[in-house]
């Protein structure tokens, strides 16, 4: 937490600084001091502190006047009044102005720690709300619920910078087993996100429509260099957090882009990452790849063709599509010679099919025997098809029922997948296949239909309607509703009342 101290007594400032720096319970950094109200107002513009300790009586501009002005300059700052016992009425007035707390001078370390504890909890809650709003906007964008131009003008600083990465999970293990493995990594990732929450930056982690996970870091809100540093540290830790759970039977590959100067360039880069992602099958999994490195391999028509073929083989096996799997295997013959001539290419290709289909291979570089082994392995699909078809329909029915019952809550495909014991990737693909739409679009439609009903049958405020259908940002709800209904919620209500007359 970045702290500002404003007091005309240098000894008071020194004492408060000393006590704050000795507190080990909270991450505190003194960013600025001021000896009067005018200095405080001037320096607020640059440092935008999380907490400001302000003396009630200061020359040139007293504490109450300084806070009134300061709230417009630094709206997210939490204010703490420093006051003597005889000035206690000033502290009460400051609380009415929006100050978070007060300290009677001279404050003890115990009193200071108690005040900081309350401020820290409020600070963390504020960071989580800000970050959640950013994550919701990013997920809406990548699920086709918001346009790029809407996000660009959505309160992000003009000098915002972005960094994005997509994670790909490949495994032949049962969905329940994969989900259990990934659940352990999810706890680790959430811990890392919480660790790097900051006013200087935002972090989003969410599933894409096809089930892959994407993370986005954004900085430029207050201190650009500090925000960039935190986002880079976050990416370093999240790489280790995901890849730590990779194994021979479950591969997690991270593909990250380069710094982007706009939402538009981030969105286009993410699309290219997904387009080039099959190349992981021929250059190596269980590692972190820079997007520009994969671009080189994607330009090679042989590498691109083989990688896309391997992805198709894996996909048909995972979906237990016997005929397509067997037909696609025969197309491997086209790549016999490149595989025989390139030791690394052979190694990466056979390892990918081993992890994604479970076909064990220990026979060395023998293309014919390997292909025969894969074809024999495909025969196992015939015994599972009917049983799996019934299970898939049941899973989608459960998702729809869950949405119908919990649409008003903060729900996502990851949460439902965990309940059903499958992976978000599997459930997303299955839901889209069976319903013809994505999970997010289906959920949004249900919420908008319920919002129409609430707007027609009651006079509650638009904000309350938004909350009752699962949105805590009125602006975000209004944007989605307008796109869905063709008019603002307030206009829709007026139209319905006019029709009723």
Q: Which of 107, 140, 164 is the last residue of a domain?
A: 107
Query: Do 276 and 132 belong to one domain?
Result: yes
Query: Do 227 and 295 belong to one domain?
Result: yes
- In this structure, is residue 386 part of a structural domain? no
Query: Do 102 and 234 belong to one domain?
Result: no
- State how far the Cα of 79 lies from the Cα of 119, in Å rounded to an integer: 9
Query: Do 157 and 77 belong to one domain?
Result: no
Q: Count how many Cα atoms sit within 13 Å of the Cα of residue 451 in the half-sphere of its side chain.
A: 32
For residue 254, the cross-strand partners are 167, 288
Query: Do 291 and 144 belong to one domain?
Result: yes
- State how far the Cα of 425 lies from the Cα of 429, in Å rounded to an integer: 6
For residue 223, the enclosing domain spans: 127-299
Q: Which of 299, 324, 345 is the last residue of a domain?
A: 299
- Helices then strands, counting H and E runs in the chain, come out as 23, 10
Residue 501, pLDDT above cutoff 80: no
- In this structure, is residue 458 part of a structural domain? yes
H, E, C per residue of 153-192: CCCCCCCCEEEEEEEEEEECCCHHHHHHHHHHHHHHHHHH
Residue 386, pLDDT above cutoff 50: no
- Average pLDDT, stretch 267-290? 93
Q: Which of 279, 299, 319 is the last residue of a domain?
A: 299
Q: Tens digits of per-residue pLDDT, 285-333?
A: 988 999 999 999 999 999 999 999 999 999 999 888 888 999 999 999 9
- pTM passes above 0.95: no
Count how many domains the chain has.
3
Query: Do 95 and 187 belong to one domain?
Result: no
- In this structure, is residue 198 part of a structural domain? yes
- Domain with residue 101: its CATH number is 3.40.50.2300
Q: Tens digits of per-residue pLDDT, 25-64?
A: 777 888 889 888 888 888 888 888 889 998 888 888 888 8
Query: Do 71 and 135 belong to one domain?
Result: no
Query: Do 207 and 279 belong to one domain?
Result: yes
Among residues of the chain, what percentage have pLDDT more than 90?
30
Query: Do 80 and 165 belong to one domain?
Result: no
- State how far the Cα of 28 lies from the Cα of 22, in Å rounded to an integer: 9
Neighbours of 490 (CB within 10 A): 12
Query: Do 63 and 92 belong to one domain?
Result: yes
């Amino acid at each position: 937490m970045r702290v500002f101290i404003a007091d005309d007594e240098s000894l008071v400032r020194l004492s408060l600084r000393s006590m704050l720096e000795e507190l080990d319970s909270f991450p505190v950094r003194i960013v600025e001091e001021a000896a009067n109200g005018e200095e405080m107002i001037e320096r607020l513009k640059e440092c935008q502190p999380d907490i400001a300790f302000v003396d009630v009586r200061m020359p040139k501009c007293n504490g109450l006047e300084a806070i009134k002005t300061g709230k417009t300059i630094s709206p997210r700052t939490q204010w703490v009044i420093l006051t003597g016992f005889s000035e206690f009425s000033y502290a009460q007035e400051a609380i009415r102005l929006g100050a978070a707390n007060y300290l009677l001078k001279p404050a003890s370390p115990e009193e200071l720690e108690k005040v900081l504890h309350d401020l820290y909890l409020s600070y963390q809650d504020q960071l989580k709300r800000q970050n959640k709003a950013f994550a919701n906007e990013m997920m809406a964008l990548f699920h086709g619920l918001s346009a790029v131009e809407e996000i660009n003008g959505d309160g992000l600083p003009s000098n915002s910078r972005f960094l994005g990465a997509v994670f790909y999970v490949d495994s032949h293990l049962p969905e329940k087993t994969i989900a259990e493995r990934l659940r352990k990594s999810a706890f680790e990732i959430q811990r890392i996100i919480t660790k790097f929450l900051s006013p200087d930056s935002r972090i989003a982690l969410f599933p894409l429509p096809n089930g892959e996970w994407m993370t986005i870091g954004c900085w430029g809100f207050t201190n650009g260099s500090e925000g960039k540093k935190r986002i880079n540290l976050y990416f370093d830790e999240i790489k280790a957090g995901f890849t730590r759970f990779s194994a021979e039977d479950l591969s997690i590959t991270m593909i990250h882009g380069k710094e982007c100067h706009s939402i538009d360039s981030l969105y286009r880069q993410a699309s290219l990452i997904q387009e080039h992602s099959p190349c992981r099958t021929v250059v190596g999994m269980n590692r972190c790849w820079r997007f520009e490195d994969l671009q080189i391999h994607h330009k090679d028509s042989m590498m691109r063709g083989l990688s896309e073929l391997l992805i198709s083989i894996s996909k048909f096996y995972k979906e237990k599509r016997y005929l397509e799997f067997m037909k696609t295997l025969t197309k491997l013959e086209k790549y016999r010679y490149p595989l025989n001539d390139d030791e690394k290419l052979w190694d990466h290709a056979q390892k990918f099919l081993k992890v994604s289909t479970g076909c064990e291979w220990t026979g060395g570089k023998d293309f014919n025997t390997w292909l025969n082994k894969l074809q024999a392995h495909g025969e196992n699909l015939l015994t599972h098809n009917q049983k799996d078809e019934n299970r898939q329909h049941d899973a989608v029915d459960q998702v729809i029922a869950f949405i119908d019952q919990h649409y008003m809550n903060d729900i996502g495909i990851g949460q439902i997948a965990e309940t059903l014991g499958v992976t978000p990737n599997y459930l997303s693909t299955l839901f889209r296949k069976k319903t013809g739409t994505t999970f997010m679009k289906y959920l949004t439609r249900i919420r908008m239909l319920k919002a129409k009903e609430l707007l027609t049958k009651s006079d509650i405020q638009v904000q309350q309607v938004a909350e009752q259908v699962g949105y805590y940002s009125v602006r975000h709800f209004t944007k989605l509703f307008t796109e869905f209904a063709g008019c603002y919620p307030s206009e829709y209500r007026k139209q319905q009342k006019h029709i009723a007359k």
